[in-house]
Amino acid sequence: MARAAAVSPPTRLPAAGERSGAALSRLQLLVTRKLDGLLQGDYAGLLPGPGSEAGESREYRPGDDVRRMDWPVTARTTMPHVRRTVADRELETWLAVDLSASLDFGTGRWLKRDVVVAAAAALTHLTVRGGNRIGAVVGTGPPAPVRTGRWRAAAPPPGPGTLLRLPARSGRKEAQGLLRAIAEAQIQPGRSDLGALVDLLNRPPRRRGVAVVISDFLAPPQQWGRPLRKLRVRHDVLAIEVVDPRELELPDVGVLPVVDPETGELHEVQTADPRLRRRYADAAAAQRAAISAELRAAGAGHLRLRTDRDWLLDMVRFVAAQRHARTRGTTR
Protein backbone atom coordinates (compact mmCIF):
# COMPACT_ATOMS: atom_id res chain seq x y z
CA MET A 1 0.00 0.00 0.00
CA ALA A 2 1.14 3.53 -0.73
CA ARG A 3 4.28 2.53 -2.62
CA ALA A 4 3.37 3.80 -6.07
CA ALA A 5 5.86 6.13 -7.69
CA ALA A 6 5.16 8.52 -10.53
CA VAL A 7 7.04 7.52 -13.67
CA SER A 8 8.40 11.03 -14.23
CA PRO A 9 10.70 11.72 -11.24
CA PRO A 10 10.88 15.19 -9.70
CA THR A 11 13.91 17.41 -9.65
CA ARG A 12 16.25 15.93 -7.07
CA LEU A 13 19.61 16.30 -5.44
CA PRO A 14 22.69 14.89 -7.21
CA ALA A 15 22.76 11.16 -7.88
CA ALA A 16 24.33 8.70 -5.48
CA GLY A 17 27.68 8.78 -7.20
CA GLU A 18 27.82 12.55 -7.01
CA ARG A 19 26.85 12.83 -3.35
CA SER A 20 30.35 11.93 -2.20
CA GLY A 21 31.75 15.16 -3.62
CA ALA A 22 30.69 18.77 -3.40
CA ALA A 23 27.01 17.99 -2.78
CA LEU A 24 27.79 15.90 0.32
CA SER A 25 30.15 18.58 1.59
CA ARG A 26 27.43 21.22 1.20
CA LEU A 27 25.00 19.01 3.08
CA GLN A 28 27.43 18.58 5.98
CA LEU A 29 28.11 22.32 6.04
CA LEU A 30 24.36 23.02 6.15
CA VAL A 31 23.88 20.60 9.04
CA THR A 32 26.80 22.11 10.96
CA ARG A 33 25.58 25.68 10.54
CA LYS A 34 21.97 24.93 11.40
CA LEU A 35 22.42 22.54 14.31
CA ASP A 36 25.27 24.36 16.04
CA GLY A 37 23.65 27.23 17.88
CA LEU A 38 20.17 25.73 17.79
CA LEU A 39 21.02 22.65 19.84
CA GLN A 40 23.66 23.98 22.21
CA GLY A 41 23.26 23.35 25.92
CA ASP A 42 23.02 20.05 27.77
CA TYR A 43 25.14 17.13 26.67
CA ALA A 44 22.06 15.09 25.79
CA GLY A 45 21.80 14.50 22.06
CA LEU A 46 18.94 13.89 19.67
CA LEU A 47 17.18 11.39 21.95
CA PRO A 48 17.99 12.40 25.56
CA GLY A 49 18.31 9.38 27.79
CA PRO A 50 18.43 9.20 31.60
CA GLY A 51 22.07 8.17 31.73
CA SER A 52 23.54 5.89 34.38
CA GLU A 53 25.83 8.08 36.52
CA ALA A 54 24.21 9.29 39.76
CA GLY A 55 23.63 13.03 40.08
CA GLU A 56 21.71 15.32 42.43
CA SER A 57 18.31 14.66 43.98
CA ARG A 58 15.16 16.69 43.44
CA GLU A 59 11.56 16.51 44.57
CA TYR A 60 9.36 13.92 42.91
CA ARG A 61 7.00 15.16 40.17
CA PRO A 62 4.10 13.22 38.61
CA GLY A 63 5.45 11.17 35.73
CA ASP A 64 8.90 10.55 37.23
CA ASP A 65 10.24 6.99 37.13
CA VAL A 66 9.58 5.51 40.59
CA ARG A 67 12.59 3.22 40.09
CA ARG A 68 14.79 6.30 40.57
CA MET A 69 13.36 7.18 44.00
CA ASP A 70 16.04 8.43 46.40
CA TRP A 71 14.83 6.76 49.60
CA PRO A 72 17.50 8.13 52.03
CA VAL A 73 16.70 11.74 51.02
CA THR A 74 12.97 10.97 51.07
CA ALA A 75 13.29 9.63 54.65
CA ARG A 76 15.28 12.66 55.83
CA THR A 77 13.01 15.28 54.29
CA THR A 78 9.70 13.39 54.53
CA MET A 79 9.13 14.52 50.92
CA PRO A 80 9.48 12.10 47.99
CA HIS A 81 12.68 12.71 46.02
CA VAL A 82 14.15 11.12 42.90
CA ARG A 83 17.80 10.78 42.00
CA ARG A 84 18.77 12.59 38.80
CA THR A 85 21.33 10.93 36.55
CA VAL A 86 24.05 12.33 34.33
CA ALA A 87 24.35 11.28 30.71
CA ASP A 88 27.23 8.94 29.92
CA ARG A 89 30.11 10.79 28.30
CA GLU A 90 31.24 8.06 25.91
CA LEU A 91 28.09 7.34 23.99
CA GLU A 92 27.92 4.85 21.14
CA THR A 93 25.31 5.47 18.46
CA TRP A 94 24.30 2.96 15.81
CA LEU A 95 22.25 3.71 12.71
CA ALA A 96 20.11 1.12 10.92
CA VAL A 97 19.61 2.67 7.47
CA ASP A 98 16.96 1.10 5.23
CA LEU A 99 17.65 1.84 1.55
CA SER A 100 14.96 -0.31 -0.04
CA ALA A 101 13.78 0.60 -3.54
CA SER A 102 10.75 2.46 -2.12
CA LEU A 103 13.18 5.07 -0.75
CA ASP A 104 14.26 5.99 -4.31
CA PHE A 105 11.06 8.01 -4.79
CA GLY A 106 9.82 11.51 -4.04
CA THR A 107 7.43 14.14 -5.35
CA GLY A 108 8.36 16.92 -2.91
CA ARG A 109 11.56 18.92 -2.71
CA TRP A 110 13.70 15.79 -2.41
CA LEU A 111 13.61 12.05 -2.88
CA LYS A 112 13.07 10.01 0.26
CA ARG A 113 16.61 8.70 -0.13
CA ASP A 114 17.95 12.26 0.04
CA VAL A 115 16.12 12.81 3.33
CA VAL A 116 17.57 9.53 4.68
CA VAL A 117 21.11 10.67 3.85
CA ALA A 118 20.42 14.13 5.31
CA ALA A 119 19.08 12.64 8.56
CA ALA A 120 22.15 10.39 8.79
CA ALA A 121 24.36 13.47 8.31
CA ALA A 122 22.59 15.31 11.15
CA LEU A 123 22.85 12.33 13.49
CA THR A 124 26.52 11.87 12.61
CA HIS A 125 27.25 15.52 13.39
CA LEU A 126 25.40 15.40 16.72
CA THR A 127 27.29 12.27 17.73
CA VAL A 128 30.89 13.07 16.77
CA ARG A 129 30.90 16.65 18.05
CA GLY A 130 30.97 15.17 21.58
CA GLY A 131 33.80 12.77 20.76
CA ASN A 132 31.49 9.74 20.64
CA ARG A 133 31.50 6.74 18.33
CA ILE A 134 29.00 6.12 15.54
CA GLY A 135 28.45 3.05 13.38
CA ALA A 136 25.82 1.87 10.93
CA VAL A 137 24.21 -1.10 9.27
CA VAL A 138 22.75 -0.48 5.81
CA GLY A 139 20.20 -2.58 3.91
CA THR A 140 19.92 -2.02 0.14
CA GLY A 141 17.39 -4.65 -0.92
CA PRO A 142 17.72 -8.02 -2.66
CA PRO A 143 19.13 -8.53 -6.17
CA ALA A 144 17.12 -7.16 -9.08
CA PRO A 145 13.99 -9.13 -10.11
CA VAL A 146 13.84 -10.79 -13.51
CA ARG A 147 11.47 -8.98 -15.90
CA THR A 148 8.93 -11.37 -17.45
CA GLY A 149 6.98 -8.98 -19.64
CA ARG A 150 6.33 -5.38 -20.54
CA TRP A 151 4.13 -4.64 -17.55
CA ARG A 152 5.21 -7.13 -14.92
CA ALA A 153 8.38 -8.40 -13.31
CA ALA A 154 9.04 -11.53 -11.32
CA ALA A 155 8.93 -11.14 -7.55
CA PRO A 156 12.34 -10.37 -6.01
CA PRO A 157 14.09 -13.39 -4.51
CA PRO A 158 13.44 -14.01 -0.80
CA GLY A 159 16.01 -13.15 1.82
CA PRO A 160 17.29 -10.21 3.86
CA GLY A 161 18.93 -8.55 0.85
CA THR A 162 22.32 -6.85 0.89
CA LEU A 163 23.36 -5.85 4.41
CA LEU A 164 26.43 -3.69 5.02
CA ARG A 165 27.99 -3.19 8.45
CA LEU A 166 30.12 -0.10 9.14
CA PRO A 167 32.00 -0.37 12.49
CA ALA A 168 31.55 2.29 15.14
CA ARG A 169 34.43 4.78 15.30
CA SER A 170 35.01 8.25 16.68
CA GLY A 171 36.44 11.25 14.87
CA ARG A 172 35.20 13.49 12.08
CA LYS A 173 37.22 11.77 9.35
CA GLU A 174 35.76 8.36 10.20
CA ALA A 175 32.25 9.85 10.44
CA GLN A 176 32.61 11.40 6.99
CA GLY A 177 33.68 8.04 5.60
CA LEU A 178 30.62 6.40 7.15
CA LEU A 179 28.31 9.04 5.69
CA ARG A 180 29.95 8.68 2.26
CA ALA A 181 29.41 4.92 2.35
CA ILE A 182 25.71 5.43 3.12
CA ALA A 183 25.31 8.03 0.37
CA GLU A 184 27.04 5.85 -2.24
CA ALA A 185 25.17 2.63 -1.42
CA GLN A 186 23.46 1.27 -4.53
CA ILE A 187 19.73 0.72 -4.09
CA GLN A 188 18.47 -2.61 -5.48
CA PRO A 189 14.95 -2.92 -6.97
CA GLY A 190 13.41 -4.77 -4.04
CA ARG A 191 12.79 -4.51 -0.30
CA SER A 192 15.38 -5.36 2.31
CA ASP A 193 14.25 -7.23 5.42
CA LEU A 194 13.88 -4.42 7.96
CA GLY A 195 13.55 -6.90 10.81
CA ALA A 196 16.88 -8.54 9.90
CA LEU A 197 18.45 -5.10 9.55
CA VAL A 198 17.33 -4.05 13.06
CA ASP A 199 18.42 -7.40 14.44
CA LEU A 200 21.99 -6.65 13.34
CA LEU A 201 22.05 -4.00 16.08
CA ASN A 202 21.25 -6.69 18.66
CA ARG A 203 24.20 -8.88 17.63
CA PRO A 204 26.68 -8.87 19.17
CA PRO A 205 25.37 -7.40 22.47
CA ARG A 206 26.76 -3.91 23.02
CA ARG A 207 26.96 -1.50 25.95
CA ARG A 208 23.93 0.69 26.42
CA GLY A 209 23.72 3.49 23.85
CA VAL A 210 21.49 5.01 21.20
CA ALA A 211 20.06 3.10 18.23
CA VAL A 212 18.42 4.99 15.35
CA VAL A 213 16.37 3.26 12.65
CA ILE A 214 15.83 5.31 9.46
CA SER A 215 13.25 3.90 7.06
CA ASP A 216 9.85 4.50 5.47
CA PHE A 217 8.64 1.48 7.52
CA LEU A 218 6.51 0.19 4.63
CA ALA A 219 7.47 -3.39 5.51
CA PRO A 220 4.77 -5.18 7.54
CA PRO A 221 5.00 -4.16 11.23
CA GLN A 222 5.06 -7.80 12.31
CA GLN A 223 8.37 -8.12 10.45
CA TRP A 224 10.25 -5.42 12.40
CA GLY A 225 8.19 -4.87 15.58
CA ARG A 226 9.70 -7.67 17.67
CA PRO A 227 13.37 -6.90 16.80
CA LEU A 228 12.69 -3.25 17.66
CA ARG A 229 11.22 -4.17 21.06
CA LYS A 230 14.23 -6.38 21.71
CA LEU A 231 16.54 -3.50 20.80
CA ARG A 232 14.69 -1.17 23.20
CA VAL A 233 15.49 -3.43 26.17
CA ARG A 234 19.13 -2.36 26.10
CA HIS A 235 19.22 0.91 24.14
CA ASP A 236 17.42 4.21 23.69
CA VAL A 237 15.73 3.80 20.31
CA LEU A 238 14.70 6.50 17.84
CA ALA A 239 12.71 5.65 14.70
CA ILE A 240 12.91 8.18 11.86
CA GLU A 241 10.06 7.63 9.41
CA VAL A 242 10.52 9.18 5.96
CA VAL A 243 7.28 10.00 4.12
CA ASP A 244 6.34 11.49 0.76
CA PRO A 245 3.03 13.39 0.41
CA ARG A 246 1.92 11.17 -2.51
CA GLU A 247 2.07 8.20 -0.14
CA LEU A 248 -0.65 9.87 1.93
CA GLU A 249 -3.03 11.07 -0.77
CA LEU A 250 -3.38 11.14 -4.56
CA PRO A 251 -3.74 14.37 -6.56
CA ASP A 252 -6.54 14.84 -9.07
CA VAL A 253 -4.47 14.75 -12.28
CA GLY A 254 -6.48 12.35 -14.45
CA VAL A 255 -4.82 9.13 -15.62
CA LEU A 256 -1.55 8.72 -13.73
CA PRO A 257 1.00 6.02 -14.72
CA VAL A 258 2.60 4.66 -11.55
CA VAL A 259 5.21 2.00 -10.94
CA ASP A 260 6.00 0.00 -7.82
CA PRO A 261 9.76 0.50 -7.37
CA GLU A 262 10.05 -2.74 -5.41
CA THR A 263 8.46 -5.08 -7.98
CA GLY A 264 8.61 -3.06 -11.20
CA GLU A 265 4.85 -3.42 -11.78
CA LEU A 266 3.37 -0.59 -13.87
CA HIS A 267 -0.26 0.55 -13.59
CA GLU A 268 -2.45 3.37 -14.82
CA VAL A 269 -4.59 4.96 -12.10
CA GLN A 270 -7.62 7.16 -12.77
CA THR A 271 -7.08 9.81 -10.09
CA ALA A 272 -10.13 11.82 -11.20
CA ASP A 273 -12.31 9.31 -9.29
CA PRO A 274 -12.99 10.93 -5.87
CA ARG A 275 -13.93 7.56 -4.35
CA LEU A 276 -10.58 6.10 -5.37
CA ARG A 277 -8.70 9.04 -3.87
CA ARG A 278 -10.71 8.75 -0.65
CA ARG A 279 -10.08 5.01 -0.34
CA TYR A 280 -6.39 5.58 -1.00
CA ALA A 281 -6.18 8.30 1.67
CA ASP A 282 -8.07 6.13 4.20
CA ALA A 283 -5.83 3.12 3.54
CA ALA A 284 -2.69 5.28 3.80
CA ALA A 285 -3.89 6.80 7.10
CA ALA A 286 -4.59 3.32 8.49
CA GLN A 287 -1.14 2.17 7.39
CA ARG A 288 0.62 5.11 9.09
CA ALA A 289 -1.48 4.63 12.24
CA ALA A 290 -0.37 0.97 12.38
CA ILE A 291 3.27 2.04 12.03
CA SER A 292 2.90 4.61 14.83
CA ALA A 293 1.17 2.08 17.09
CA GLU A 294 3.94 -0.49 16.57
CA LEU A 295 6.64 2.09 17.34
CA ARG A 296 4.81 3.14 20.52
CA ALA A 297 4.48 -0.49 21.57
CA ALA A 298 8.23 -0.90 21.07
CA GLY A 299 8.91 2.15 23.27
CA ALA A 300 10.79 3.97 20.49
CA GLY A 301 10.88 7.70 19.93
CA HIS A 302 9.15 8.57 16.67
CA LEU A 303 10.25 11.34 14.31
CA ARG A 304 8.50 11.75 10.95
CA LEU A 305 10.32 13.60 8.16
CA ARG A 306 8.59 14.55 4.89
CA THR A 307 10.09 15.19 1.48
CA ASP A 308 8.03 18.38 1.06
CA ARG A 309 9.01 20.01 4.36
CA ASP A 310 12.11 21.40 6.04
CA TRP A 311 13.52 18.18 7.51
CA LEU A 312 16.14 20.06 9.55
CA LEU A 313 13.53 22.24 11.23
CA ASP A 314 11.45 19.15 12.04
CA MET A 315 14.50 17.55 13.68
CA VAL A 316 15.16 20.65 15.79
CA ARG A 317 11.52 20.77 16.88
CA PHE A 318 11.68 17.11 17.84
CA VAL A 319 14.75 17.69 20.00
CA ALA A 320 13.10 20.69 21.68
CA ALA A 321 9.95 18.67 22.40
CA GLN A 322 12.00 15.79 23.84
CA ARG A 323 13.93 18.10 26.15
CA HIS A 324 10.74 19.85 27.25
CA ALA A 325 9.12 16.49 28.01
CA ARG A 326 12.22 15.42 29.91
CA THR A 327 12.04 18.44 32.24
CA ARG A 328 8.40 17.56 32.98
CA GLY A 329 9.29 14.03 34.00
CA THR A 330 8.84 11.98 30.82
CA THR A 331 10.72 11.57 27.54
CA ARG A 332 8.01 9.79 25.59
DSSP string, 103-167: GS--SSSS-HHHHHHHHHHHHHHHHHTTT-EEEEEEE--SSPPPB-SSS-BPPPPSS---EEEEE
DSSP secondary-structure letter at 94?
A: E
Q: Whole-angstrom Cα distance, residue 127 to residue 94? A: 10
Question: What is the model's pLDDT at position 158?
Answer: 44
For 37-89, how does the pLDDT look when each residue is reduced to its tens digit (9 = 90+)?
A: 555 544 444 444 455 555 578 888 888 878 888 898 899 889 999 887 655 55
pLDDT > 60? residue 135: yes
pLDDT value of residue 68: 83
User: What's the whole-number mean pLDDT along residues 140-149?
Assistant: 56
Q: Give the pLDDT band of residue 279 (cuts 50, 70, 90).
A: very high
pLDDT band at 2 (very low <50, low <70, confident <90, very high): very low
Distance in angstroms (rounded) separating the CA atoms of residues 139 and 222: 18
**pLDDT value, residue 89:** 54
Give the pLDDT confidence of 107-130 residue by residue, as tens digits: 888 899 999 999 999 888 888 877
Q: Which of 11-20, 150-159, 225-234, 308-317 has the highest mean pLDDT?
A: 225-234
Instruction: Report yes or no: 311 and 30 within 8 Å, Cβ to Cβ.
Output: no
Helix (H/G/I), strand (E/B), else coil: 30: helix
Q: Residue 155 pLDDT more than 80?
A: no
In this structure, the number of other CB atoms found within 10 A of the CB of residue 61 comes to 12
| Cα 210 to Cα 49: distance, rounded to the nearest angstrom | 9
Q: Above 70 in pLDDT, residue 305?
A: yes
**pLDDT > 70: what percent of the chain?**
73
**pLDDT value at residue 328:** 61
- Nearest-angstrom CA–CA distance, 304 and 241: 5
CA atoms of 73 and 267, how far apart (whole Å): 68
Cis peptide, bond prior to residue 48, ω within 30 of zero: no
- Encode burial over 134-162: b for 16+ CB neighbours within 10 A, e otherwise: bbbbbbbbbeebeeeeeeebeebeeebbb
CA–CA gap between residue 274 and residue 249 (Å, rounded): 11
- Within a 10 A sphere around the Cβ of 41, how many other Cβ atoms? 8
What pLDDT sits at residue 237? 92
